Chain A
């Protein structure tokens, strides 16, 4: 599989790949079939482990030769040692986790840095949808309100505020529009997907 085939439609994957160095240990939370880890292993020479709760995801990851650990994110990362990983990734999943602060704290406990990506609720098209009286539907928010796995709805500005409150350092932030192009200004308005690289202070 080529790198392009894996990353198609996942600009956050490319951003994460840039941050990972050879031999670094990556833990991918909600790793699915292990596509991101496979990319990081093949293109970056990283070492990877993934956590996945869905049986089909676990099976697919094992087929892909991924070190997948079947576990529930809401149960926390208590099985993992402090500082066991260089990077702990939570890709497009933070909005589905009920205990937001706990998972971020845990990620920064077991990892030197945490990488999170999430859909920006304040993206202008989402704002338009709500102004027109409906919950938004988009490339990055693909679910109907009644079947969405998302339980937390927040914006880039909200997340910045949470990081400040939790005394977390935002080392880097990349924001993308729906097409996956980088957004460099008015990010909370023009950005559909945000990727953060976080560290402990």
Chain B
């Protein structure tokens, strides 16, 4: 039998607010346990929630970016269950009236564009963390993360392969960072993904029973977890069994998913509207303001880069995947006086290689856009050659100096002065009469010997075009 995979995704994006969704405690990552859990976050008796304005604005921003319906009134509900990392015994979350309604996102896989529906996106609070190191056989609970704002983004079951799922997640990952609403840090858990997977015989209309794989925190794991799960489900069905609706956990070490039976007991969350919070109203004014506030989105930026900078589809794609990279690129182009193609080569080549090698993000690049742009400018105006520029770049990486300072200090200025070059060429021809004869006898390859010798003698500083021109003239005499 031929099987078709059906995938839907739920993504939890921690919103990049300074304070929590319902309290004034900090959301900064990595603090000492429970030092950022205030009375409200701990659910102490008598404390009450007040909603963070920025969290609301971020959610609206996201909704606008995917062309979704923004609910004029959305409602927070209580999702009731007991767990040590859930201080109040309920999670405050939006249920039947989410802030962001139906929207959509286009993905591209193997050159084909496909539209994936986004069912909804809603605001909720994150839970704390249980630490399972041994405290005399006990579990420790850290509630610093409790109350961090989350935007839960739920897709339609529109994806049919792990490649599509990964493309969708990557697209969202890029988008939330573009919008500046989430830092996208998957290692720190700022961007987490649950995958719903089912299989059905090709041609069958009805969905198969799905399994939910929780908390996948890298693109690679998403791909592998889906691949494994699909295989498992097909095995189960083909050996006469039935897929059970359940929550599964992906074990990256063993590359397999396993059932989380502990979470499977009859969940009855008893959702009801939170009486401590009132309906969230999104006014037309706020919508207008947020629309005006929307940055250029990845798709649009890519098209503009292709048009404005004459970049290839591939280059424009690479340069716009991260908003910081795109901003860096544009800044560098400005400082280079418009050397768009050359800057693109440098950003994607030398700079990216250096960043990769040092494990740095472009936002932490030792060479800023201004200094890179100024370097490219010197290549373009032939002050230095591309080869020398790589040396200069090394200096830029290791110091605060500008390209001009380095060129001056290290004497790397290109020799374009024909008088000086002529002298070198004359001497060279005098020293190597045999090669001169060979050239004149038709062996044009010997030209390489002369160019190489001159470059060697000038430590690469000779202007190659000029050298070529002069050599051609003199050898033909």
Say whether A and B bind each other: no
